[in-house]
Structure 1
Amino acid sequence: MELTSRSIFEISDNSIARYIYDTLLPEIETPVSDRSNVMLFLEDNTLIMTVQSSDIISMRSALNTWLRLIAISYEIFNKLEADSALEI
């Protein structure tokens, strides 16, 4: 059984979307499991993530991991922006 999930993240700023995409590219190149495959695309200010898994357990695991990675990347970008604004 092949499972597929597609998640679309519309981000308010192109630079934030680009930062998240660039941050996650190394993770795409080194997959954690052979039971799931993750693809990430950037279109303007929109990130598109597709996860394909061979079973429900690996799908849940992959989605948890990648949703967390996207959220953390977004939080780090905002923290860096806030810190640089304070230095001005």
Structure 2
Amino acid sequence: MKATGRVIKVFPDDIKGAKHQKFTVKLKNNKTVLVVHNISIAPKVYGLKVGDKVEFLGQYQWNSQGGMVHWTHHDPHGEHPVGWIKHNGKLYS
């Protein structure tokens, strides 16, 4: 899924096991998705705050809350397409 939206919530980093940065984005169609970015593999998106515009590419997985997007980074094993997050002109992968 490739999309652009505004951050509406930033969660504390999940530091159990593989570390993940999590935030919710409201898309142009008013739907929301949770972005789960693995910061054990890719750089953390620093300075991210509510209201910021982000663009991202990752694997969408549906759930009853609207869904989540993960694999927003490179895959060190080459099994998944490369994903990324773009924030303030910087690309995180």
The higher-RCO structure (CA 8 Å, 6+ apart) is 1
TM over 0.5: no
Choose between structure 1 and 2: higher helix proportion.
1
Choose between structure 1 and 2: higher strand proportion.
2
TM class by smaller structure = under 0.3
The higher radius of gyration belongs to 1
TM-score by length of 2: 0.25
